[in-house]
């Protein structure tokens, strides 16, 4: 369906998904091949290894819980670029699904 014939709600969804794609692409492009970001990832990788290597020596349950939360946060940072790429891919797939469904409806309608 041409853009002018789509309901405003569909146009809003497409715009929202395009904004996600643009934002994620900007972030990924900014962090890719960024020397400072690579150093941050290296430091967080070392912290992740330190947590992995020493969790079994923690006797206090509260400290262990803090380490667990810290490990989750470290993993989030380490996977940040991949998470943005996944968000971008998901949004692009949703846009394609919405627009191809419009085309399929028109095609089915044209075929009678």
Tell whether 98 is covered by a domain.
yes
The residue among 31, 43, 34, 36 whose CA lies nearest residue 74 is: 43
Q: Residue 112 burial (CB < 10 Å; 0-12/13-18/19+)?
A: exposed
Question: What is the residue range of 55's domain?
Answer: 33-102
Is the overall model pTM greater than 0.85, yes or no?
no
- Kindly report, residue by residue over 65-109, the tens digit of the pLDDT: 999 999 999 999 999 999 999 999 999 999 999 888 655 555 555
Cα distance between the two ends of the chain:
16
Is 49 part of any domain?
yes
Residue 64 lies in a domain: yes
Domain count, the chain: 1
Examine residue 111 and state whether it is found in any structural domain, yes or no: no
Residue 5 lies in a domain: no
For CA atoms 8, 12, 15, 21, the dihedral sign is negative
């Amino acid at each position: 369906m041409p853009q002018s014939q789509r309901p405003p709600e569909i146009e809003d969804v497409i715009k929202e998904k395009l904004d996600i794609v643009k934002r994620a692409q900007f972030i990924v492009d900014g962090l890719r091949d960024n020397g400072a970001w690579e150093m941050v990832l290296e430091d967080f990788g070392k912290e992740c290894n330190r947590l992995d290597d020493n969790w079994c020596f923690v006797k206090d349950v509260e400290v262990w819980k803090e380490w667990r939360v810290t490990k989750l946060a470290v993993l989030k940072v380490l996977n940040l670029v991949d998470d943005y790429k996944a968000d971008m891919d998901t949004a692009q797939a949703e846009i394609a699904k919405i627009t191809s469904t419009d085309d399929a409806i028109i095609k089915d309608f044209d075929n009678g």
